[in-house]
Amino acid sequence: MQECKFTDRCCFFRKYRDGRALMWQALIRDYCQGTLHHRCERRQFYLETGECAPAHLIPSGEITGVLLDLS
């Protein structure tokens, strides 16, 4: 399986990799550890700015209704 090479720097991955919620598990599996990593909007933001993406942006590019605590 192909894993994103930025997981060590990704606020989202570090925060939710051990989460039990099915939604986070699916996003981690598909985007961080799977073949969709090249389509991750958080990855794209990091490549463009060198900074962690805003807390309300999930890998699929959708905006969550609440800010994610990524500290």
CA distances from 30 to 36, 68, 71 (A): 6, 19, 23
User: Average pLDDT over the chain, rounded to whole?
Assistant: 88
Strands (E), the chain: none
How many Å apart are CA 37 and CA 27, to the nearest integer?
10
How many Å apart are CA 50 and CA 66, to the nearest integer?
23
How many Å apart are CA 25 and CA 51, to the nearest integer?
23
pLDDT at 71 over 80: no
| 57: β partners | 63
pLDDT tens across 42-53, in order? Answer: 999 999 999 999
